Amino acid sequence: GNSVTQMEGPVTLSEEAFLTINCTYTATGYPSLFWYVQYPGEGLQLLLKATKADDKGSNKGFEATYRKETTSFHLEKGSVQVSDSAVYFCALSSGGGADGLTFGKGTHLIIQP
């Protein structure tokens, strides 16, 4: 079956630090890959996505590249801000009828000023 593995944290960084959150996956076929973010007190929202190998998703300074050879979709940002503090979820969808997202456990990111 499908699965997503990501570092759970909490990950604590200082403002302007470089961020990497690792995500690897197991799936049949050619899944679409997503990063969702949940800010404190808010609902889940899509941060970025990639639908095929070597695609790079980007949004709000965050980037992630779909690496089929390493089955990875690591999230990066060059300079984090306090407002980036949130829980980040890596997810995949492989379709096949059920079409729900398979999520990782989530990574709690804390940015200190």
Residues lying near other proteins in the complex (CB under 8 A) are found at 31-32, 36, 42-46, 49, 51, 89, 91, 93-106
Give Cα separations from 81 to 1, 19, 53, 76 (angstroms). Answer: 36, 10, 29, 13
CB of 113 to other proteins, least distance (A): 28
Nearer CB in complex with other proteins: 61/95: 95
CB of 79 to other proteins, least distance (A): 26
CB of 33 to other proteins, least distance (A): 10
Nearer CB in complex with other proteins: 49/74: 49
- The answer to whether 29 touches 96, Cβ cutoff 8 Å, is yes
3-state secondary structure 4-40: EEECCCCEEEECCCCEEECEEEECCCCCEEEEEEECC
**What is the Cα–Cα distance from 50 to 21, expressed in whole angstroms?**
16
Nearer CB in complex with other proteins: 46/53: 46
Nearer CB in complex with other proteins: 25/36: 36
CB of 20 to other proteins, least distance (A): 21
